[in-house]
Amino acid sequence: MAATSSLAAPALAQGAEERLLLDLKDGTVTIQFLPDVAPKHVERIKLLVRRGFYDGTPFHRVIEGFMAQGGDPTGTGTGGARDLPDLPSEFTNKYRFIRGTCGMARSQNPNSANSQFFIMFAPAPSLDNQYTIWGKVIAGMDAVDKIKRGAPGSGVVSGPDKLVRARIVNA
């Protein structure tokens, strides 16, 4: 028995059950990482969180009934982690873009995700197998629902809400 419990502790220490917490103005959002689906994207998010990259970044594009997008320190939708290469897509049939799904934003090139991400307000089947899914909200969706919305059509937000702080915790 003692040998078994001493072997179990390192697995947790290695972060097998790590989750992402996003502190927003209206509460904390808990996101379950999906490393089995998108290992490179999950590792990128973790790296950027550990750097403090996301802290204070705006939700620059927020479309009612669709999604909230952030992860661009410039707030223009054109910024990213310039010192890191873009990521190859990791599309999946295992999960769908439904309420609470977390995906990576990209340009028209499917292999151009870098730092920007989005959280779905509602299902969007048109995104399935077109964008990488890296996580799912498991608590705090009410805080996501309160993110300031952008202009109809474009979703561009004037005076956007910001991601106060991002951190990684063990479950």
Range of the domain at 40: 17-170
114 belongs to a structural domain: yes
Q: Count other C-beta atoms under 10 Å from residue 124's C-beta.
A: 20
SS3 53: coil
77 belongs to a structural domain: yes
Task: Give the mean pLDDT per block of 10 residues along the chain (171 residues).
Answer: 36 63 98 98 98 98 98 95 97 97 97 98 98 98 98 95 97 82
Per DSSP, 126 falls in state G
Number of domains the chain is built from: 1
For 18, phi then psi, to 5°, come to -70, 145
1 belongs to a structural domain: no
39 belongs to a structural domain: yes
66 belongs to a structural domain: yes
pTM comes to 0.90
Residue 171: per-residue pLDDT: 82
92 belongs to a structural domain: yes
Residue 98: per-residue pLDDT: 98
Residue 16: per-residue pLDDT: 55
SS3 13: helix
Q: Count other C-beta atoms under 10 Å from residue 80's C-beta.
A: 20
Distance (Å, whole) CA 113 – CA 110: 7
48 belongs to a structural domain: yes
Q: Render 22-52 in DSSP notation, one character per residue.
A: EEETTEEEEEEE-TTT-HHHHHHHHHHHHHT
Q: What CATH number is associated with residue 82? A: 2.40.100.10
46 belongs to a structural domain: yes
